[in-house]
Amino acid sequence: MQIKLSSSYKGTATPWGDNFVKQHHKVYVKLGNEGVYKQIQFDFYCNDVKLDKEKLCMALYYFLSDGIAYDNSRNIDDFQSEFGYTKVSECLKAYEGCKKAWEKWADFGIDPYLLANRLQKDYNF
């Protein structure tokens, strides 16, 4: 099984409010064998205009971690308690984003926990 990561730079963005200007990237994950690949994409925000291999792996690790956070929560109340959200709107936005990450990854049929652990080990995240 091969994993191919790539990205395209989209410019600056303020995903967490006007005081936090970040560089916006669309990250593409292709997974497969022998020319047959499934692909997902997700938004990634950081301080870098260019993403090298390590940053792409970090983006994938964060994406997997978001999905795992959703999977580890029994419900939105458990999620709120785990992450300490006080504003309902912020909690709901984060919860829905983590849920979307989990659902996107589910199509690949690879255990996200194992892959996240491997990335953490290989890149010392």
Q: Which pLDDT tens digit goes with each residue over 37-89?
A: 889 999 999 999 999 999 999 999 999 999 999 999 999 999 999 999 999 99
Question: What is the DSSP pairing of strand 22-33 with strand 36-46?
Answer: antiparallel
Residue ranges making up the domain that contains 93: 2-123
Residue 113 pLDDT more than 80?
yes
Using CA atoms, how far apart are residues 97 and 86, in angstroms rounded to an integer? 17
> What confidence score (pLDDT) does residue 88 get?
94
Q: Looking up tokens 């984003």, which residue turns up?
A: 97
Q: How many domains does the chain have?
A: 1
Using CA atoms, how far apart are residues 8 and 28, in angstroms rounded to an integer? 8
Around 61, how many Cα atoms within 13 Å sit in the side-chain half-sphere? Answer: 16
- Predicted TM-score (pTM) of the model is 0.90
